[in-house]
Amino acid sequence: MQLTNPVWIHHSGGAIYSVDIHPDGTKIATCGQGGEGGSGLVIIWNVKPVINEKASQEASCSRLLSRILHQNCVNCVRWSPDGTYLGCAGDQQSLTLWEFGGRVFSAGTIGSKDSVNVEKYREKYRLYGHSLDVLHLEWSKDGRYLASCGMDHSVIIWDAHNLPNKVVSLTVERGGHQGIVKGVSWDPIGKFLATQSADKSVRIWAIDNWQCIKVVMDPFIESSQSTMFCRLDWSPDGTYLIAPCASNNSGPTAHLIRRKDWDTTLDLVGHRKAVTVVRACPRMIEYQNYKGNRLQVSCIAMGSRDKSLSVWLLPNVDRPLVVLYKLFKHSILDFSWNDYHLTICSMDGTVKSIVFDAKELGRLLTSSEMGDLCERMYSRRPLQYSSDQQNNGRQLLSFKDSSRMFVDDLKKIQSEKQEPKQLKIHDNGSFVSSQMKELPSNQSAVRIPVLCDAVQTNCSEKVLAPSELPKKQTDLRTKLGKRRIQPSFIASVTIPEAEITAAPISVDEPALNSYEPAQASSVHLLASPSKSNGRVLLSSIEKVEAIPRIDEPMDTHPLSSRTEQILPHLSLKPLLRPAPFPESLTVMLNDNRSVTFSIPQQRRSLSISVPPTEMCSINRIDVLNEYEIAATIKLTKLCGMKDATVLWTAHLDPVVCSVAASSHWFVAGCYDSSIHIYSTPSGRLHTFFTIDSLPFIIQVHRNYLSVCSSQGFEYRK
């Protein structure tokens, strides 16, 4: 066992409430309090210097990958099973999902000057639904759902395939909790959801109908709800649910709830204060006991308010495998597993890392073995165990197109990709590609470029293959007598398989030539419904310009210059300019009348006055578009002013085109057709939504909002 203490992982003295390792095992996300009072902070760390102290001293190894600032404290972070999103839950009464945006070399973090970001993350979704602080969130093992819970006594289930849509809200009306919900956990088999609350109960929900099927209260009646979180977890095979914050004879325990009959006679004892978090290794372990018997067990890590850690192997092992006393200076709040790597965080703002050895724990079962085990026990194979391409027991799936998850004949698809495409020329001058598939009869024509120098007169049907083309190469001798063979360029006469679209698309590309790019020809692809041989006939040749013959002598210019001549469109860098907005837009009404709207012009700065009241001290709000936060980062900056004093600031990614404000709300309309609503006294983001086009007029009166778009639609809120 290797225990490391990465002292460089910290939140500038603030508490760390949650930790989670990326599914590929290369990153660690931590969250908690920021350096300033009331602010939240999420930091992405590199795993390599954590488990390798020598790598942490190398200048080329970046410790900190990215810092993400939040306006309020962040209570929980969790990576999605495929590693695409990083979910954050905190005191903003909402969930924020961040998406990886690539590696950058910036001059620092937004709002911070003491670090340099290596990776960039952008806000993908913000999920609203809770009325109070959100304490915990958890992705289902197969990635279908996202569950969140908080201080409003509710659990919200989100559709991870179609965010930000909700599936259901598990509230008191549906038989939910009557107190603060402090933890949620998904059954790895995919049938149940477990929630734990301050009302001293654990509730089991059936996923098929979202009904509460079991309420477990006995182990928690005598417990004192003194923990901030109650993070429970299932064993990898779904046999047991391990719930913290329980008690037995007035002693703190973690209770085992057996899946078969929801029995609660077993518990894990030994900690002197309440157990705050339980986390199971995502895969079973093949363990050999002192008698030489091989057992399949679950590895469970438990953390407590007594600052100690214990690791258990369940079942059939009566004592903990490892116990570490006074590992931190404060309570342990969260764990994260990645194979044999366990990461622990504490309220004292530090993180510890433990890497176990296979000789100490045993051999981790493969994903295939886990799937076979679940299939024997439950006659079903969970999605996360249906493939060997897994990390940390989680399947990396793409849920956007579920119809492509399975392949009927892999060898057939591979052979089709490797088979060279040939071009046939018929007597009537039409072309046939052997790789083209038959199109529907109502499919529109598509124009693609074709390079050919053989269509000048009518010829008999034949197949042109690259092997039939004349070949000639230059053989040179150096002064030392060595042969230097310069190969000649052979242009391909095959055409790529075209993607058929619903409307005609004209494509003009330069032909490949050794001297100058030849003018590309355009050919219509027309479906022939009368043919049943599965091919597409190419007809209606508009123009074909011959390219120079291949047997002509090669140019002796240097390779770099010939490449620029052959591919001039690749050597020239494209010049990108923003699409200009029209100055005005005419909208036709139903009674054949027209109204002309003037499009808001982009300005560097905007300012709007706020009527003064006793409840709001803000009298002006300034908007600075494309404000330079760092060397390569520009955002829109919002400033709440009282005369010349800045009382609050906020940042936006899009450019603001129109604003409106009252003593209660400040509304910013952006060029990406989004509307952002802020609280005028505090500058806190309340909500945002998107309209059909640019916001033309925005009016705010007390708690009423009216937005008129440039297309003539009105939105009220």
Q: Nearest to residue 678, comparing CAs of 691, 660, 696, 693? A: 660
Q: At 416, give phi and psi (nearest 5°).
A: -70, -35
CATH architecture of 129-217: Beta Barrel (2.40)
Exposure of 131 in the CB half-sphere (CA atoms within 13 A): 6
pTM to 2 decimals? Answer: 0.57
State both tokens at 449: 């470029």
**What pLDDT does 521 receive?**
38
What's the CATH superfamily of 1-105+119-128?
Answer: YVTN repeat-like/Quinoprotein amine dehydrogenase (2.130.10.10)
Residues 6+ apart with CB under 8 A from 642: 617, 618, 619, 620
CATH architecture of 584-716: 7 Propeller (2.130)
Q: In the chain, where are the structural domains located?
A: 1-105+119-128, 129-217, 231-248+269-385, 584-716
Q: Nearest to residue 138, comparing CAs of 154, 125, 149? A: 149
**What pLDDT does 489 receive?**
53
**What pLDDT does 301 receive?**
94
Q: How many CB atoms lie within 10 A of CB 420?
A: 11
Read off the DSSP letter of residue 406. Answer: -
Question: For the chain, which residues score pLDDT lower than 50?
Answer: 107-108, 110-113, 388-414, 416-417, 419-470, 491-564, 566-571, 573, 576-578
Domains 1-105+119-128 and 584-716 share a fold: yes
Q: Which residue in the block uniquely carries the two structure tokens 């399975």?
A: 406
Angle at 152 between CA 147 and CA 154, to 5 degrees: 40
CA 72 – CA 93 distance, rounded (Å): 10
**What pLDDT does 714 receive?**
85
Q: How many CB atoms lie within 10 A of CB 530?
A: 7
